[in-house]
Amino acid sequence: MDKFVKVQSLEGSEITATDNIRHFTVSAGDVYDLRDSFLQFSCEIERTETSAGGGTGVYNNMVQWVTADAEKPHFQNVAFVKNAHLKSQMKGNIESLRRVDILKQNLSTVAKSQRTEADQSYVDINQLPFPINNQQYSLFGSFNKTGAVKSIESTTVPLQVRLSDVFDFCATDEYDTNRGGELNMRLELNRDKLEAVQIGKDAQAVPAGMKSFKDIGATEGVGNTIVVGAGTTQTRVFDLKQSLYYVGQKLLISATAGGTALPDPVANEPVVISSILWDKGNADQSLGGKLSLTFETNWGSALTGDQTYTGITATIAECTPTLKINQAELVLKKKPEGERENYDSINFTTFSTEEGNGGARTQFQDLFTVEGDATQAFMTFAQGSDDLISSCPLVDFRCSLNNIDVTDRDVVVKEPLYYDRLAGSLDGMGYKLKNLVLNAGVSNEYTYTDVYKKANADTKPLVAELFQTPQSKFLQVKANAGTGGVNNYQLFKAIPKVFTY
């Protein structure tokens, strides 16, 4: 059975925008599988209900990336780490990485297929809508769509980051602290870039037809159970993925009153769903797929005679969520003694970073000094002040190394040569090109077919394969960009390393 050890950060306070540096020490005395080890940050969302009354509702909240744009990029958990440093007691510095967030986010976009991204959603703190029904649910809740068991808002949810996602050195399945000494880790975190947001609000709830209900009269008694439909027609629901509703959800009910001695009109009356009955196998097949909602309190008056409620509609209640990140810990997997390989060395690739600003030039040119042992250049360009996605409208580029052209022609973005160069550079860094769409996706787009179509999530890195030299070399970059030009940029230089005990 696998054994794990938890190491608390040296700082124990809440992580805030100004208190965002955390240190970890892995003491000597054991052997660890760093590939299966991970960082864990304890997240909590507190919320205030907008509509009082009707009971306490359960809300669907998650974490999104803070940007000036209305469209929010789908970010990887590793983007929470801005800068990172790792050293060992006996060997000194191992990796010192600046702008881990930008590098790993953009690498992930091109090296992960959309299918892989969907498969890993069980751990993502930021979720995309489901392809089937365009609905979106977060890790901060457990939602029951039928029965009478109330859904749960999770008080604490871990934001997990694989160590190997931060440090390539940690892709090893064996590190011996007895030979390499204790590990010391320093992380600077993007706490100011994470915020809580309510998802699945009324404006995004689909299908919209699910928010209207059949008329009710005296035979239904009080207005406490309603059936999805309109007028006298029932909407047939044959898959719960079509349903917007879960037990504990707060709705605002409106209805038009009719009949003799009209009952009280209803307008945005807050109620909480106490149970949901889904009768998909009704004996009368013409009525199969009946979906009924019952509430903790009555939303209308008791009906008598010819009194009715018609035009019944529901609006999803809203809240104001607030994110807190209270704790940071390192979870280490121990390597059993019988499974140890006793490696003499660990091969890995690290990155050095150079940052600058192109001054919005549409014709960008610059000369960079590159380490002699660097093998790849991976350059990202942010559009505007939001640095995470390399979304600059890059048109084409050409690079030369020590005055020797890397390619014999301009590399036009999203043309065959570009994909060839991108695949080659990724392979040289230990990755594979798996996503030709080159778009990170946005998390607040509720039509799945449009999730990967937003310009501010387009990912167009500049890449160049470099030959190694005994000393530093010079990389000249020429690039043409569209409207907005080149602003903030980061040049990441891939450097192969060997850690020897």
- Cα angle, residue 109 at apex, residues 398 and 126 outer, rounded to 5°: 145
The enclosing H or E element of 362 equals none
* Distance in angstroms (rounded) separating the CA atoms of residues 499 and 493: 19
What tokens does 269 get? 């009356």
* Distance in angstroms (rounded) separating the CA atoms of residues 2 and 173: 13
Full pLDDT tens readout for the chain, 501 residues? 789 999 999 998 999 999 999 999 999 999 999 999 999 999 999 999 999 889 999 999 999 999 988 889 999 999 999 999 999 999 999 999 999 999 999 999 999 998 898 888 899 999 998 888 888 899 999 999 999 999 999 988 999 999 999 999 999 999 999 999 999 999 999 999 999 999 988 887 777 788 999 999 888 766 689 999 998 888 888 888 889 999 999 999 999 999 988 888 899 999 999 999 998 765 455 667 889 999 999 998 888 889 999 999 999 999 999 999 999 999 999 999 888 999 999 999 999 999 999 999 999 999 999 999 999 999 999 876 568 999 999 999 999 999 999 999 999 999 999 999 999 999 999 999 999 999 999 999 888 889 999 998 999 999 999 999 999 999 999 999 999 899 999 999 999 999 999
The enclosing H or E element of 114 equals helix 114-119
pTM: 0.93
What tokens does 308 get? 């009715």
- Helices 416-428 and 100-111 cross at an angle (nearest 10°) of 120
On whether the CB atoms of residues 16 and 191 are closer than 8 A, the answer is yes
On whether the CB atoms of residues 253 and 271 are closer than 8 A, the answer is yes
On whether the CB atoms of residues 92 and 85 are closer than 8 A, the answer is no
Q: Decide the pairing of beta strands 308-316 and 225-227.
A: unpaired
What tokens does 54 get? 């009707």
The enclosing H or E element of 25 equals strand 21-26
The enclosing H or E element of 177 equals helix 177-180
**In this structure, what are the phi and psi dihedrals at residue 474, rounded to the nearest 5 degrees?**
-120, 125
What tokens does 383 get? 């559009």
